[in-house]
Amino acid sequence: MKYAALGLISALSLCSTSVFADFDSAKRHLKEKNYGEAATELTKLAQVGHVEAQFQLASLYEQGLGVTQDLTTAYAWYLVAKDFDHPDASDKYRVLREAIPSRKEGKDRYRELSNLYGKKQHEADFAPVLKQSNFYPERAKLLTQVEPDYTKGTVSIQSAWATVAYNVNESGQVEDARVLASFPKNVIDDAVIEAISQWTFKPAVKRNGDPDRVNDLMYTFKTKSTSSSNHRKYEKQLDEYTQKLKELADSGNNYAQVRYAMMLEHSIIESPTDKYVDWYYKAAMNGNNDAQLRLVHCFENGEGCQPNEDKAFNWLEKASQSDNYRAQFQLAKTLLDYQSVHFNPKRAVGILKEATHNQYLPAMTEYARLLAFSDNPEIRDIQAAIKYAELARSLDPTNPVLLSVLGASYTELGRVEQGEELLQQAFEEALNRNWPTRSYLNLIEGGAAAMMANGARLTY
């Protein structure tokens, strides 16, 4: 088992460089002299407050590696890094102060960067303020909880834990259950996925009473061996694993950082000084999508930090920039919320279309609905609505929203009998799924198609 634990640590390092665009991958590009790729990644990280990325990006501008040589921009980034307390930035700034063509232009460039990405702006836009509370709002009410079967194979004689992420769909069923971390790896993974997939929830609801999805919920399963000697071995191995994980996290490995944060959050380990939100924050700045989405929940719901709608939105934007279709869908939902200060349906359409091309069913469904029911002529497109609704039905043939999209669209095109039949099917399937049926009845009874909105109407 000891060798398996050490092997997991090696896997952490490999995973972080191949999956995430983080500082490890930027350093790899620098080592391999792929300066253009390094500059691209360092720029993204520098803009979100990664101080070492800011310093290295300044160095690339200073030397003209991967970017056009620009001592003024290098000077400005060194000053930004200095504000973030980089230990070497002051010396580099003083050297370049004598070399730049114009100190005034250098100061102007610094102010420009600082206003966008400086420490003060970063703290206003991204940094969590820790809240000394264990308050966790109930985002989905659990109705049925099935316990894992730990009696199969060697599971019953081993201590283990596994943290699972999952979504709850509009019918209260678990979808996309996946093990985020476990130790020892694969011992209880299959058992917990089988169990949590059978959990049921009371569906979340939108402001208009229609059912809604809840994304990125987490739960940690733990089992303790009946053998005291086996459990002592597990505790020793877990200590070794945690120590090496912490070393990787301290070195800047974002995969290790987010795993260490999860272990703190779910009381797998305890630390008198380390706060799990701080580690999610480090991993998020390092480009880790899971950490970024975890911070979104922190800011939206006050889970471990002070709630802040703008910071939640900023991290959601960052997470969606890496082709993360779950983040893209959540961002689009925020943009479609007419009560949000970020309301922007035109932008939401583009984001949903991108997520649709990744064949993410919730995005496909919402995109088809927008195309069919929007009152905005720049968004509404009946033919496209039919196309994307049919595409989404390959994944969920009886989805009530998709059936209503097709029914309303065919009716508008003059295919009234076919449209009415589909609208009736949508109503019946909504009943079968225990969804509210008001919107479907409105369509059947001749109400405007816009009644399928987030509210009374879609006025996008």
Model confidence at 133, pLDDT cuts 50, 70, 90, reads low
Least Cα distance to 438 among 409, 404, 415, 412 occurs for: 404
Q: What is the C-alpha to C-alpha distance for residues 435 and 438, in angstroms, rounded to an integer?
A: 9
The CATH architecture to which 23-126 belongs is Alpha Horseshoe (1.25)
Would you say residue 37 has pLDDT above 90? yes
Q: What is the C-alpha to C-alpha distance for residues 320 and 284, in angstroms, rounded to an integer?
A: 12
Would you say residue 251 has pLDDT above 60? yes
Would you say residue 64 has pLDDT above 80? yes
Residues pairing with 32 in the sheet = none
Least Cα distance to 297 among 341, 327, 260, 267 occurs for: 327
Query: What is 127-226's CATH number, 3.30.1490.270, 3.40.50.1110, 3.30.2420.10, 3.30.465.10?
Result: 3.30.2420.10
pLDDT at 158: 85
Q: SS3 of 353, please?
A: helix
Would you say residue 136 has pLDDT above 70? no
Would you say residue 242 has pLDDT above 50? yes
Percentage of residues in the chain with pLDDT exceeding 70? Answer: 90
Burial (0-12, 13-18, 19+ Cβ within 10 Å), 315: buried
pLDDT, tens only, 395-409: 999 999 999 999 999
* CATH class label, 359-453: mainly alpha
Over residues 357-363, mean pLDDT = 90
Would you say residue 374 has pLDDT above 90? yes
pTM of the complete model: 0.85
Residues pairing with 181 in the sheet = 163
Domain ranges within the chain, ordered by starting residue: 23-126, 127-226, 359-453
Concatenated DSSP letters for 149-211? -TTSTTGGG--EEEEEEEEE-TTSBEEEEEEEEEESTTSSHHHHHHHHTT-EEEPEE-TTS-E
Q: Which amino acid is at 130?
A: L
Model confidence at 248, pLDDT cuts 50, 70, 90, reads very high
pLDDT at 208: 72
Instruction: Measure Cα distances from 91 to 86, 95, 97, 186, 263 in Å.
Output: 10, 6, 10, 49, 38
Model confidence at 79, pLDDT cuts 50, 70, 90, reads very high
Over residues 328-341, mean pLDDT = 92
Percentage of residues in the chain with pLDDT exceeding 90? Answer: 74
Q: Which amino acid is at 234?
A: Y
23-126 and 127-226 in the same fold: no
